Amino acid sequence: MSNTIEEIVREQARAAKEASRRLAVTSSAVKDAALRAMAEALEENAAKILEANAEDMAAAREKGTPRAMLDRLMLDEKRIHGMADGLRQTAMLPDPIGEGEMETIRPNGLEIRRVKVPIGVIGIIYEARPNVTADAAALCLKSGNAVLLRGGSEALQSNRAVSRVLVEAAEKAGMPKGALQFIDSASRDAVGVMMNLTGLLDVIIPRGGAGLIRRVVTESAVPVIETGAGICHTFVDEGADLDMALRIALNAKTSRPAVCNAMETILVHEGVAKEFLPKMAKAMREKDVELRGDEAARAAVPDMAAATEEDWATEYDDLILSVKVVKSLDEAIAHINRYNTGHSETIVTNDLNRAQRFQREVDAAAIYVNASTRFTDGFEFGFGAEIGISTQKLHARGPMGLNELTSTKYLIFGEGQIRS
């Protein structure tokens, strides 16, 4: 008699909820020791994990999986050490739980404090990369949250091996039983079940392609933190240092084109378009970037393909760049606010007033002046860790570290006060 996927997942969530109560009052010392034990266990069991990964890789190759995806799926000794290092680094970060956010004594004598507490149970739905299993577990557990992990079916053997090693090490080191749960099933229904676990899951963080994220945002009854969609822009202002603009544009587009903080569209002020665009086109093409421009951009670089309306709204995640010439800062801001996904935007300028207007009026998580959008990242921001980059405005916006995995509680001490 086998249980349905709904029963299995719901039971795991119930166990995670139960564990979350104990985890919320588990000391930093125990949590950190557990993370270090988990790191050691990963390294000790590397052979077993690599064996499981080899099965996933063989199945993926057989299915004709694209090389980029195979690369994300692949584990080796070095990547396992990387996962272990991530766990050890998370252990060294300060524990946010219990930190005071405000404190007040009211006229009636009530002492009110707001302190950070864990969110409770966090559901993570992710694709392809098995190292997310360790990274997400580390951040959730360190911040006192139980976690229910649902990885992609193509990485099932790898994720199963990694999660077994982690769960065993965590419980042996004194973490509450059930705090780390992995959904050991390739069934796509698991995602549907998770999205309806209101009362058991406190939040779902989807990490993966746009399709997955859209589905979870639209369908989930459990609150969702939307991450990772990035149509990022660079605006080259009139009077900008054009050498700097070129360095920033090249970095934003080509240093890692598949990530969410890479640039997709460059906007160039008409006053510098004729000088800047031919140089930029040459440099981008040397890096194999395909250019798609509006009419004015094509006037400056005649052999550029024509951009369509769809281009402005597309996250290429690839060596493609759309190019638009704008008449003014206002036009640049309006274009960005129309097409962006609220991730990262940058202006290259020497004009302080326009820099400030760009920062005030553009609606996004991170707004740069004279720097590459590629810096939007929990490590680059100094958080020491990152569970994802929120592109929504509620709860957390931008890179999410340990602080963003917390909620709050008001603790109030009285001496018998009643309300009149």
Contact residues toward a second copy (CB under 8 A) are 21, 24-25, 104, 106, 110, 112, 114, 119-120, 198, 202-203, 217-218, 221, 223-225, 241, 244, 247-248, 250-252, 255, 337, 355, 359-361, 363-372, 374-376, 380-382, 392-395, 397-398, 407-420
* Minimum separation from the CB atom of position 326 to a second copy (A): 17
What 8-state DSSP symbol labels residue 135?
H
Token pair for 27: 């000391």
Q: State whether residue 233 is helix, strand or coil.
A: strand
The phi and psi torsions of 48 (rounded to 5 degrees) equal -60, -45
* Residue number with CB closer to a second copy (282 or 409): 409
What's the token pair of residue 206? 């989807």
Q: How far is the CB of 140 from a second copy (least distance, A)?
A: 14
CB of residue 319 vs a second copy: minimum separation in angstroms?
A: 17
d(CA 309, CA 311): 5
In the complex with a second copy, the residue whose CB is nearer, 90 or 145, is 145
What is the distance between the alpha carbons of residues 92 and 29, in angstroms, rounded to a whole number?
Answer: 11
Buried b (16+ CB within 10 A) or exposed e, 320-344: bbbbbbbeebebbbebbeebbbbbb
Q: Give the tokens for residue 65.
A: 């999986």
Calpha distance 212→210 (Å, rounded): 6
The β-bridge partners of 322 are 265, 292
| Nearer of residues 130 and 257 to a second copy, judged by Cβ | 257
Q: Which is nearer to a second copy, 45 or 254 (CB)?
A: 254
Query: For the chain, how far is it from start to end, CA to CA, in angstroms?
Result: 60
Decide whether 163 or 376 has the Cβ nearer to a second copy. 376
DSSP code for 151 = -
**Smallest separation (angstroms) from a second copy to the CB of 369:** 5
Q: Please report how close the Cβ of residue 416 comes to a second copy at its closest, in angstroms.
A: 4
Closer Cβ to a second copy, 295 or 363, answer by number: 363
Residue 155 or 355 with smaller CB distance to a second copy: 355
- Phi first, then psi: give them for residue 232, nearest 5 degrees: -100, 145
Task: Please report how close the Cβ of residue 146 comes to a second copy at its closest, in angstroms.
Answer: 12
Residue among 3 and 417 whose Cβ is closer to a second copy: 417
- Of 223 and 278, CB closest to a second copy: 223
> Looking only at Cα atoms, what is the longest distance across the chain?
80
Q: Of 373, 250, 247, 264, nearest to 318 (Cα)?
A: 264
Measured from the CB of residue 138, what is the shortest distance to a second copy in angstroms? 21
Handedness of CA 64, 66, 72, 76 (dihedral sign): positive
Shortest Cβ 371–a second copy spacing (Å): 3
Tally the C-alpha atoms within 13 A of residue 252's C-alpha that lie toward its C-beta.
Answer: 31
* CB atoms near residue 270 (< 10 Å): 14
Tell me the closest approach of the beta carbon of residue 99 to a second copy, in angstroms.
13
Question: Six-digit token pair at 127?
Answer: 């694709």
